[in-house]
Structure 1
């Protein structure tokens, strides 16, 4: 078990984005089964977003419906909600007005069915000092309306500055075999120093490591990954080589590539001065939730082998389109 904001959570969390952002979204009852399975497996850290889906039905609406049907689960789950964006263009808004609008709207949609355990701005607003943004969220913590504050896609200096204003419950960043930057840019080191858990989003390489996509055409029409550099046809085959190496290791262990990938992320938790690391794979079916939560451990030798593979295979293309680069590691 891990500790986030004073509450025990499972070693693996659960990302709700795909349940309301996909078009078409999966049936609500299917999502409920996946959510129930997640809780049954101990994955009680749930990651949601005010912008995960259309205004009329985002992941907060799904949470409202779930906890309306299963009110007994509300105290068993810790939810972390991303907001702090202008919904019309998804640009960061860390101003007092932006933070208040986002939190107030989140609370309105939850409608008291579930406490807002953690709130985080999805990106750091380059026009507002992080100290001010954290201060605005802290007002809601002091008022008892929000349980804690998280950060997302921030740099090491931002983490340290924010932590001087208010305790930081966790830091959400991309971390997977396809995105190892936090081990090199000081983010993991800063979180280790301050004992802040890292929430690793997209731990399965945005689908590369699930084994479900083998070529660009496997991405559904309208899928946002069709616009991401590393999924483009001219580099897709090169980037798939990493997945193929992971598949080989998975076959030798008798497990799935996704399970090897999650085990690799977890192998860094509380190691070499790092803090707790909690991967939050997304899933829309009960079967995928059960697969992700099956406990698989890598030997030290297997971790070394994967490290050697990462040195040998260069991932082509950035994590996001170039237009988003200025909002990463803010």
Structure 2
């Protein structure tokens, strides 16, 4: 079993973003149920953010409520929180003043209900050397207010610079069948060399591989074989996917071809596309030249979490077939629009 900050975590974690960062978040009771389900199934590595919502309502507020309701769960969860942006803005600020503001506010909202195991700046601030930013966060580790330091969407050189200042406990990056950058840009190799686990967000390709079951409806065998998005018009009007290059109408039909190929494998193995996708990420974990990789799929219902916690077991033949699919149907378009892409792998 993998470890983070000296604590054992399950091979699959849980992303909290969708519980608070959307136009119509799920009811609080539904979120609590989803969180309890995740924990009961072994997904005790929880990943949230100060930016996942508003300053008045984000992951920290939900976590405070959850651990007030279930105080005994606090010691079971390894909690990682992203912050380090200007308050109420999507702009990185790795200055000492803002890093301290961000961590202090996270701790204030948690109100002692749960310790902060890991803190990471959501993006590298191009105006502040990452070594300085990590040094500011390290002050809290030394004071016993924070368990460890994680990094988010950083390049190999930044990982080395940060690790030289203070041991880095995890690196969070997007990694899925639709986002394999870390296999080519040195991030995975650097983490393997330094012994740093990778936390893989959006392992389901940002919805391409999410099963098309209705909210609160228990999945059926047939329903689970299909993806949530079959055509561009299936994307919800208020979804962030509307702004992402790979989901635009001029490339959508090309990018969906990989899903169709994955669906064929899923049907043959009696699994869902999501289970194939998570199984593929887990198959990379600890492989030759690869670090430990912990996928953190997000979900707002217990049914979806139950599906995600049963990843497909993929053999060498399956992995070879998936590699061929990736070569045949490479993603078209960037992961983020141009202004945000400049901050990736900094």
TM-score by length of 2: 0.94
Deviation at 1:29, TM superposition (A): 0.7
Tell me which residue corresponds to 2:106.
Answer: 106
Superposed, 1:201-212 pairs within 5 Å as: 201-210=201-210, 211-212=227-228
CA distance in 1, matches of 2:103, 2:138: 11
Identify the match of residue 225 of structure 1 among 241, 245, 267: 241
2-side partners of 1:216 and 1:68: how far apart?
A: 41
Q: Which residue of 1 aligns with 2:179?
A: 179
Alignment counterpart, residue 262 of structure 1, candidates 271, 278, 292? 278
SS at the partner of 1:151? strand
Please say if 1:320 is aligned against 2:321. no
- Shift, 1:5, TM fit: 1.3
Deviation of 1:65 after TM superposition, in Å, equals 0.3
Q: What does residue range 1-330 of structure 1 map to in structure 2 within 5 Å?
A: 1-210=1-210, 211-330=227-346
Quick one: distance in 1 between partners of 2:130 and 2:44? 29
CA distance in 2, matches of 1:312, 1:295: 24
Q: How many residues align?
A: 330
Name the SS of the counterpart of 1:81 in structure 2.
strand
Q: Secondary structure at the match of 1:46?
A: strand
Secondary structure of the structure 1 residue equivalent to 2:294:
strand
| Structure 1: gaps of 5 or more residues | none
Q: Is the 8 A contact 2:54 2:88 kept in 1?
A: no
State the Cα distance separating 1:17 from its structure 2 match. 0.2
1:222 is displaced (CA, Å) by 1.7
| 1:85 counterpart SS class | coil
Structure 1 runs (4+) deviating above 2 angstroms are none
How far 1:87 moved relative to its partner?
Answer: 2.7
Residues 31-53 of structure 1 show CA distances to partners (whole Å, capped at 9, x for unaligned) of: 11111110011000000000101
Please tell me the root mean square deviation across aligned C-alpha atoms, in Å: 0.7
**If the length of structure 1 is used for normalisation, what is the TM-score?**
0.99
CA distance in 2, matches of 1:22, 1:94: 26
Q: CA separation in 1, counterparts of 2:311 and 2:25?
A: 28
- TM-superposed CA distance for 1:308, in Å, is 0.8
Whole-angstrom CA distance in 2 between matches of 1:123 and 1:184: 20
How big is the shift at 1:295?
4.0
Q: CA deviation at 1:314?
A: 2.0
- Cα deviation, 1:70-104, whole Å, max 9, x if unaligned, reads 00000000010000001333111110001001000
Q: Deviations over 1:264-323 (max 9, x none)?
A: 000000012211000000100000000000142101110010001101112111000011
Any gaps of 5 or more consecutive residues in structure 2? 211-226
Deviations 1:93-139 (A, max 9, x none): 11000100100000011000000000000001111111110000000
